[in-house]
Structure 1
Amino acid sequence: MQDLIIILLVCFGCFLFWQQRRQAEIARQTIEKKCRQLELQVVSVTFSHRIRDEQRRWRWHTRYTFEFSSLGDDCYQGYLDMIGFTPAKFFVPVHRL
C-alpha cells in the first residue's frame, strides 16, 4: 500500500511539472508575440507562483516577469499574469521608442 502511495505522489509531481512547462511555453509565446507587435526585443523571462492576486482573492496564478529592450541599449521590465493556461493581465511600462 505504501508503494502505491509513493507511485501516485511521483505521478502527481510529474503531472504538475508537465502542466507548468506547458503554461510556461504558452506564456513565452504570448510575450514574444506581443513584443513583436510593439517592436521590442525580449531579453529574459522568469516566473513566480502566487496564491493570492492583487484583490486578495485566493487564486493560484503565475506571474511571468520579462525584460525587454526597445533600442538595444536599454532594459525595461514588464509582466504577464497567467491563470491556468489563460493570459490574464499583460503590462508593458512606458519606454523609449
Structure 2
Amino acid sequence: MSTDLIERVPCDRQGALRLECLPDLDPRTIVVAQAGNVNSGSFDPIAAICARAQTSGAWVHVDGVFGLWAAASRSRRHLLEGYEAADSWVVDGH
C-alpha cells in the first residue's frame, strides 16, 4: 500500500488540527480526528470537521483512544462536541 495519498494537515502548538488548513474533501477522503492528543491532551475541532465532511461525503474517524472517555465527564464532555456525527471512532480501555 502506498502512502503517497496520505496528506498531513498542519496542527497548532498543542497538536490540534488547524481547521483552516484542512484540504478540500471528497467521498474518497478519510479524515482522522483526534480526541485527546497523547502528548498535550488537546482535541481536534471534531464538530467542524464532521460538518465539512458531511457536505462532501468524506468519512470521519475519531481516534479517541484516550480522550473519548471525556464523554463520561460532565465537566469535560464539551471537548468532544460533534463526535456523534463521526462515521467511526475507537477508544482504549486498558
TM-score normalised over the length of structure 2 = 0.22
Higher relative contact order (CA 8 A, sep 6+): 2
Point out the structure with max Rg over C-alpha: 1
TM-score normalised over the length of structure 1 = 0.22
More helix as a share of residues: 1
More strand as a share of residues: 1
